[in-house]
Amino acid sequence: MRIGLLGTGNVARALAQGWSAAGHDVLLGSRHPKERTDLALPVEGLAETAAHAEVLVNATPGTVSVDLLRSIGASALAGTLLIDVGVGLSDDFTELSHPNSSLAEQIQEAFPLTPVVKTLCTMDSTVMIAPHALEGPSTVFLSGNDAEAKRTTARLLTDLGWPPSSQLDIGDLTTARGQEHFALLFMGIANGLGAHTFNIKVVPRASD
């Protein structure tokens, strides 16, 4: 599958490496591709990346994501699955930029013809592509309005090492608020552990 990742930071590079290792054709998208000669992965402009992709991944800072996507254009994004892993935070990481909504919902509202799925935003980039490196199985969440888009996303999560038993579909895109708001708790847990490489697991009630 052709996957375009918007962004060239830690998250975009990690996901690109993970999906490339699984056999996918990946391309990183940058506003300044000629300046990113330091990357081992292929880099193109944002529009070129969108044109290349069957699936787009938003791995840009959540405070600029909608404007960046608008620079590509709604017609270029129409019909393309967009997996959103971004979270909008203030410069000091103490407040959410979408406190009464979510970045994923804002993207979906701005681009109604682009199915958006929220996932992978509740963990560090190292865990996204190596869930097996933790002490035990943990949970990755999916939020979205389009069932087929979520099925495709689930298959791509499996390619990163997340078995179906670790994937939890929590509902429509409004549930992305919970995923993004977890960022504040994530930072508290990281402070308590003294490390960012961890994840959470949903533990249901034992069956009778």
Domain ranges of the chain: 2-193
pTM over 0.85: yes
Rounded (5°) CA angle 92-93-98: 120
Q: What is the pLDDT of residue 55?
A: 98
**pLDDT given at position 16:** 97
> Which DSSP string do the residues of the chain spell out, in sequence order?
-EEEEE--SHHHHHHHHHHHHTT-EEEEEESSGGG-TT-SS-EEEHHHHHHH-SEEEE-S-TTTHHHHHHHH-HHHHTT-EEEE----B-TTSSSBS-TTS-HHHHHHHH-TTS-EEEESTTS-HHHHT-GGGSSS---EEEEES-HHHHHHHHHHHHHTT--GGGEEEEESGGGHHHHHHHHHHHHHHHHHHT-S-------PPPP-
CATH architecture of 2-193: 3-Layer(aba) Sandwich (3.40)
Q: How far is CA 168 from CA 3, 31, 121, in A?
A: 22, 33, 13
Query: Residue-wise pLDDT tens for the chain (208 aa)?
Result: 999 999 999 999 999 999 999 999 999 999 888 888 788 888 999 999 999 999 999 999 999 999 999 999 999 999 999 999 999 988 887 888 888 899 999 999 999 999 999 999 999 999 999 999 999 999 999 999 999 999 999 999 999 999 999 999 999 999 999 999 999 999 999 999 999 999 999 999 998 7
End-to-end CA distance of the chain: 43
Query: What does the pLDDT read at residue 35?
Result: 80
Quickly count: other Cβ atoms within 10 Å of residue 57's Cβ: 31
> What is residue 90's predicted lDDT score, i.e. its pLDDT?
84
pLDDT of residue 32: 87
What's the number of CA atoms in the CB half-sphere (13 Å) around residue 144?
Answer: 26
Distance CA 171, CA 167 (A): 12
